[in-house]
């Protein structure tokens, strides 16, 4: 398990990244703080969010998977029953359970460094079960390999979602960002 001394310092989200993420999601992103990971195509695929929405509502999901192709690939794993299998393994594999609990604690430390929620809810069902692979994959991408074992496993199972190019097209002219969603190409992987 890798344990960073402190959460990585991320540059605040820029207008161009916000526009790309809005195109990916089909709506304006909520509580977007920074880009936490970029796809091999160069576009954001995971964003870091503030622990509270603008109105003060708690928002415990620190890392959010935004790329529609990556999300579709993860959804296929969920539909195939991978979450159930992972949850069953958590019940019998002490090393996995310990590593997954550590991932949960790391997630809470990173989120609480941005603002405490007075809650031990993290994301994806951590630390007891697997409820959302999207959250676990987003966490694994944002913090790198070796922190979230089940996020790492899920990432290893999905094909490269960027292989057909960017999921949305982004053209930049001057300081304005023009984004058209989604870009052509097969989104099956």
- Which residue ranges in the chain fall short of pLDDT 70? 1-9, 170-189
Does 7 reside within a domain?
no
Q: Which of 11, 55, 7 is nearest to 31 (CA)?
A: 55
pLDDT value, residue 171: 59
pLDDT value, residue 6: 52
Does 185 reside within a domain?
no
pLDDT value, residue 7: 54
**What is the maximal distance between C-alpha atoms in the chain?**
56
Does 120 reside within a domain?
yes
- Taking phi over 0 as left and psi of -120 to 50 as alpha, with beta for the rest, 118 belongs to left
Report pTM.
0.86
Show the 3-state SS of 150-176: HHHHHHHHCCCCCCCCCCCEEEEECCE
pLDDT in tens, 83-114: 999 999 999 999 999 999 999 999 999 999 99
Does 23 reside within a domain?
yes
If you ran DSSP here, which 8-state letter would residue 180 be given?
E
Query: In which element (H, E) is residue 103 found?
Result: helix 94-112
Does 2 reside within a domain?
no
If you ran DSSP here, which 8-state letter would residue 51 be given?
S
The count of other CB atoms within 10 Å of the CB of residue 5 is 4
Does 38 reside within a domain?
yes
Does 26 reside within a domain?
yes
Q: Which two tokens stand for residue 14?
A: 């820029």
- Total structural domains within the chain: 1
Q: Which domain holds residue 97?
A: 15-180
């Amino acid at each position: 398990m890798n344990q960073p001394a402190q959460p990585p310092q991320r540059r605040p989200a820029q207008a161009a990244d916000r526009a790309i993420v809005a195109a990916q999601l089909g709506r304006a992103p909520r509580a977007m703080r920074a880009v936490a990971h970029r796809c091999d195509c160069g576009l954001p695929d995971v964003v870091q969010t503030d622990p509270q929405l603008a109105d003060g509502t708690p928002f415990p999901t620190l890392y959010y998977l935004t790329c529609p192709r990556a999300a579709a690939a993860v959804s296929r794993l969920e539909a195939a029953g991978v979450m159930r299998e992972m949850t069953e393994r958590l019940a019998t594999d002490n090393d996995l359970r310990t590593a997954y609990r550590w991932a949960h604690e790391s997630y809470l430390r990173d989120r609480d460094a941005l603002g405490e929620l007075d809650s031990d809810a993290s994301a994806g069902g951590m630390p007891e079960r697997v409820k959302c692979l999207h959250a676990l994959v987003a966490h694994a991408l944002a913090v790198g390999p070796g922190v979230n074992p089940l996020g790492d496993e899920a990432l290893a199972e999905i094909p490269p979602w960027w292989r057909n190019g960017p999921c949305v097209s982004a053209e930049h002219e001057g300081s304005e960002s023009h984004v058209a969603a989604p870009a052509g190409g097969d989104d099956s992987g």
